[in-house]
Structure 1
Amino acid sequence: MTADLAELSARFCAALRAQGVAVGADRSARFARAIMVVSPRRVPELYWCALATLVSTPDEIDVLTRVFSAVFESADPADFRGDRPQATASAGAFTASDSRPSRDLRTAMAGSPAERLMSRDFADLEPEELARLREIMRRFELATPRRRTRRKRISATGRRVDLRETLRRARRSGGEPAVLSRWTPRDKPRKLVVLCDISGSMEAHARAMLQLLVCAAGGARAEVFTFATRLTRLTRALARNPAAAMRRAGEEAPDWSSGTRIGASLREFLDTYGARGMARGAVVVIISDGWETGDTGELRAQMARLSLLAHRIVWVNPRTAKPGYRPAVGGMAAAWPYCDEVVSAHRLDAVDELLAAIG
């Protein structure tokens, strides 16, 4: 029986980690993207996708070859040696070792429900279809740029001498400082703040983006707010498993699927949280189609305030995916000059733009 490609790929990455290969969420996501771009028809072609995305040193190649052969039973390690895949390599595509005719990889990929959903707009997905994408969303990593802090750490390559640590160590040598201790500033990831529009026009995309935050590595560290006619903080509600988090989000945001007052919601966020420190130096992601039912002048003023506090403003608008889109009128026109990046992220295979903009 043909196995599910996504399931086998996840098992393959887990097996590599068990063998000591550092396959994190970033490498797993690159492997998944390589499969979607290359669309390998034969097992050796899939091997080259894995080799290009999952290893970083020559020592890991033999481990990858051995684990690949074990996971994808129809693959022979001898087929993957040399400069290119052998023409006589196994034509099996994730098929068990039996006497039935094998099928190519394209057929196997077409049979994977999750892979088929990657190229569909979030607005077209039913709730149960969106739930199938959770495993793939776990391969993504939300990583913000790092910033220098006021804290320090001892480092042999530090440029400044740590007098206190030098004197402390000097006590071991009778007060004579044998070695000068040096220090360097610590750094840490910048804060990630997400403001998600949950009005009627954004309901489907909002659920997808909130699910991504729950599933993706690093998403749990984000401060998450929803807004429509009012602002609601959902950070604690989303720090649970995806299904429970989405139910809790619906309970805590009573204005779900209502109108949109973006400017007023931004003002409330800045007055209550942002100006007090949450937005300072942070990467702020606003998820909205820009349909403002309030005063666009208010939105422009609050975006100007936010731009003075945030390190970077990323606006996610699924409507920008349409050919010829222009922010000519309304809220999007008011907000556009203050955005460092505007992306669509309207389907799973377009989320890479969002991850790059955040990082």
Structure 2
Amino acid sequence: MTERLAPDLAGLAAGFGALLREAGVPASPERSARFAAAVGIARPGAVHELYWLARVTLVDQHDQLDAFDVVFRQVFGGLADVAADRGDTAAPTLPQRRRAGPRVRPREGAPEGGSDVPTPTSAAGEPREGEDDEARVLVTASVEERLRHKDFAEYTAEELATLRRLVEELRVVAPRRRARRTVRAASGRRLDLRRTLRHSHRTGGDPVRREYRRRRTQRRRVVLIADVSGSMEAYSRVYLQLLQGAVRGAGAEAFVMATRLTRLSRALATGHPDVALARATEAAPDWSGGTRIGEALKTFVDVHGRRGMARGAVVVIVSDGWERADPALLGEQMARLSRLAHRVVWVNPRSAAERYEPLVGGMAAALPYVDVLVSGHSLHALEDVLAAIGTGPTAAR
């Protein structure tokens, strides 16, 4: 049963709640979230266990049980006769007092009181429009779960369209750092002498009321550099979408590299997403060309990094490490970059292979200066990328 609940649990709970509301059960989004959290904690191993988790989190009135039982059996395809768990002798039917929504009747030819799944109908007795909504919820969740662990290089054209929507939902969150400037605080260890003395004038010079200040926090700059050479073609389109989300959501700086470095921050920050992606592709004429990672990083450090863009920033490099030029140049530039950046994250889709070892000249030269190495080859692996950017477990160099 646990494997059936794996696909996008939040989406499944939301869809289930929507069907319950349509059937007259006031299952609010908050209750749906509570149901998803309960399933994630309890991890039910049987349908009847899932039934009770859903019932205690989504139902609060006894007269809602009949409608709840019918919708539960609809969504989970008649896997269990939930009426038997409550000692009822017949399968429940939806109450007739509802103001709106479909009525449910047994399938033609189904035995009375059996466990066959009811077919939803309209008020006129005809099958209601959208009767397969609950099936679509499950199918969509199943497809998304299958795609979560599939390598981007193995996606079909249809799956890439679904992947685009899923990647757009990801959010790059920049880590926070303490700034030099201070702000007022209710308490603390740093006394605000100016304000304290000003208030003491009201109490005869006695500083009865003390004022404090603390250092404010601000988000670190995030810089993403994606390899768009021929060896990364299967992954570059996906990461270009991630770059666009990072630029718009976290104010990140975005670059692509192949035989040279191209800055895409402005192209990805403005306009419609499709137009921005088209402009980004046009701005990199060496797309799907060769790879000169060392020269591209040298350009970044010389032109942008030393001027402040890389200082104290989280720098994310997406590349498989295939370097056509001298790997020694890449190692030299990575050493310079590591001294400027707060953290260097390297995303290598090839590292997901079981027998992968960083023996390629470019990757071997860069690895000593990488704080976090992640694969990022699938939708599930992208979570590791986002975690490395936001919190970043720092590996020993």
Give the TM-score of the pair, scaled to structure 1: 0.73
171-180 vs 283-292, greater mean Cα deviation: 171-180
Q: Identify if the C-alpha distance between structure 1 residues 199 and 164 changes in structure 2 by more than 3 Å, giving closer, same or farther.
A: same
Letter in 1 for 2:159: E
Give the total of aligned pairs: 319
TM-score (norm 2): 0.67
Conserved 8 A contact 2:51-2:72: no
1:39, 1:127 → 2: CA distance? Answer: 35
335, 351, 355: which one pairs with 1:304?
A: 335
Kindly indicate whether the alpha-carbon contact (under 8 Å) linking 1:161 and 1:181 is maintained by their aligned counterparts in 2. Answer: yes
Q: CA deviation at 1:177?
A: 4.0
CA positional deviation for 1:158: 1.8
How big is the alpha-carbon RMSD for the aligned residues of Structure 1 and Structure 2?
Answer: 4.3
CA contact (8 A) 1:214 1:238 kept: yes
SS in 2 for 1:237: helix
Moved more, 209-218 or 312-321: 209-218
1-side partners of 2:249 and 2:44: how far apart? 29
Report the Cα offset of residue 178 of structure 1.
3.7
- Does structure 1 conserve the Cα–Cα contact (< 8 Å) formed by 2:247 and 2:268? no
CA deviations 1:151-172 (Å, max 9, x no partner) are 1111122211112222444566
Cα displacement string for residues 133-165 of structure 1 (whole angstroms, at most 9, x for unaligned residues): 244334433223321101111112221111222
Flag the 1:136–1:174 CA change in 2: closer, same or farther, 3 A. farther
The aligned amino acid for 1:333 is A
Which structure is higher in RCO with an 8 Å CA cutoff and minimum separation 6? 1
Checking the alignment, whether the CA contact within 8 Å between 1:212 and 1:219 is kept in structure 2 is no
Counterpart pick for 2:304 among 273, 289, 292? 273
Give unmatched runs, 5+ long, in structure 2.
1-7, 22-27, 74-81, 92-101, 108-115, 119-133, 392-397
Instruction: Return 5+ residue gaps in structure 1 as ranges.
Output: 52-60, 77-84
In structure 2, the CA distance between the partners of 1:12 and 1:178, relative to structure 1 (3 Å rule), is farther
Instruction: Tell me by how many angstroms 1:342 deviates.
Output: 0.9
Which residue in 2 is equivalent to 1:254? 285
Change (3 A) 1:357 1:106: farther
Match of 1:188 in 2: 218
The yes-or-no answer on 1:88 pairing with 2:85 is: yes
Structure 1 counterpart SS, 2:295: helix
Give the structure 2 partner of residue 147 of structure 1: 177
Secondary structure of 1:294's aligned partner:
coil
Q: 1:230 aligns with which of 232, 256, 260?
A: 260
Per-residue CA distance 1:256-314 (angstroms, 9 max, x = gap): 11111000000000011111111111111100000101111110000000111111111
Residue 118 in structure 1 maps to residue 122 in structure 2 = no
> What letter matches 1:74 in structure 2?
V
The 8 Å contact of residues 40 and 106 in structure 1, kept in 2 or not, is answered as no
Query: Partners of 2:17 and 2:364 in 1: how far apart?
Result: 44
Distance 1:336 1:144 in 2: 23
User: What is the identity percentage for the equivalent residue pairs of Structure 1 and Structure 2?
Assistant: 48
